[in-house]
Structure 1
């Protein structure tokens, strides 16, 4: 039976109810939200609003209208970054960002003359919070940090970072792509001003869903304009949330699927999901550490990690290892740079990349045993 260990890219499988709810909506409703006064359109609007409320419940927030839907976390991050940072501004970020943040910042550096300061981190990928204060400048307009590295699994100290941002009155944007649904996030306690999330990873929802939770009064400049279903007479995009940032027809069926997934997580509880993924990470680390010719990157403490482990077999390219695992053993892992070259630069694998195993709530200990047996066989042939 195939084994799927690429949950950091997209979680699989999903709860059965996710696809069922999407199919039911598309078959028996299928309308747009905010585009009609008839009963089905009102029902669609109410269903979308309920998903906003569910996300607020998950992240300890209180204003459903400030939950803004987007196609994915990349779109959400670009929306927030480009909507806040102005030409000549300055941004503080981590040294291990995904390209969803890093490329956006670098393009603004090239095109709008912004400045970027990256906070140093240790070899395990942990940001040194003590170095942040000195990087703040009079023109600093944003802090943006990943919550957990998609290469090393390292969970960043966002609460401490958020407090520093608050002290300076600088908005704090957090990329929760690797944590939302699998690790507790409290927008209030963690001092998060804007949380970017994606539906298709640990939130266990469908692709094409994601968004922002906006916990600040600062207006994010819209990056696109169009229909919202309200205030259509105005030639300008509305200046209130969520309409100001939700131009065009929403992915209603996808959002409904996401709501079903979030309900599943709330029923299971994030704490239970976190405990299982931490167990799987701990077990996999111990098994990998016992193998010859295996180089493991990142923390060795599953308490400081999400369910992501990067490793290499000495003298064997990462892509070759991943190919053999798939073709011979039907084990699906990721190989390469994982869209995060800055993290690979930190660990010296910018050219070689790594093999990445990433666990999800539906993986089991026995899956890891099968992978370890396969790796032992590959190593014996090296």
Structure 2
């Protein structure tokens, strides 16, 4: 990155670190399209060695400077396949390479079946202070339909283990729109999560990418669009009634301090470093890089200290930067500045916004900002296309 690029970066020095743990129990869940592989003999130790080397290379290269680590996130894959000492090893390496804020958020994603009280206590002692538990559902038939290996009882025991270990920040992942799902089953899961008094919920829409093993198989087909929309709006209403903050399309927090800082680094286009195969990094305002999803190639690159063969990247142009700001900003409850929309729509803006408001897809323009309603979130892709002024756009109907 050139000196001119560095001068154009914002003064924000907060750094997020994402550690992609590319291991999972095989076979993968039929809907999963994230890069992961089986943890064969010695592979986890090889991964840890390589991750440390990549952290060191990045700290000496593009991520050198006055960065202060605000959050560390273990994602995957299944990060809870790392034992506490292994997770702690990478946390300590990050702490040795960069200054760390006084109260960093350090999250580890875990499967319910991995989380015992002893293991949770080990993670906490290693420096993890937030757990994201992949419960996915509190409805037994839905867990079976999703191909999950755990039962509802493991969800409860995992959250209990986290609490007994002293974790104050616990998040639960749920899935909406899964095979054969309906509003009542999803609301049952939301009610169970609320009763457990966790502070954060990520509720992601089920979909099947061609890379997923369940793709094209009728038994794993998602719920019809009408049911998906009904489920999403029911969840939005239930959590609003409970007083939760709907701060992003798929994420809710019981209190402002429970908002996931790691995710905000992505959506607010702040600095983040991704380590591991398939991990992505971003240096504002324009540089995006990524590692290819190939563990073997990444291990070889780390051993030799040369990442050219496994790393891709691009420098965004001015219009791409503005488009990203709009696209990512519209995911958030705070929305985007109306002047950003004006740059794309020009004199057509007032007419287009009036149309969206008339359909109930955007809310009042308070503070000069454009925000999606819950109904608008259901048409996020189409509305963003409209706001970007893409030619030939027509508003989707049906939800």
TM-score by length of 2: 0.28
Looking at both structures, which has the greater relative contact order when contacts are Cα pairs under 8 Å and sequence separation is at least 6? 1
* TM-score, structure 1 normalization: 0.29
Higher strand fraction: Structure 1 or Structure 2? 2
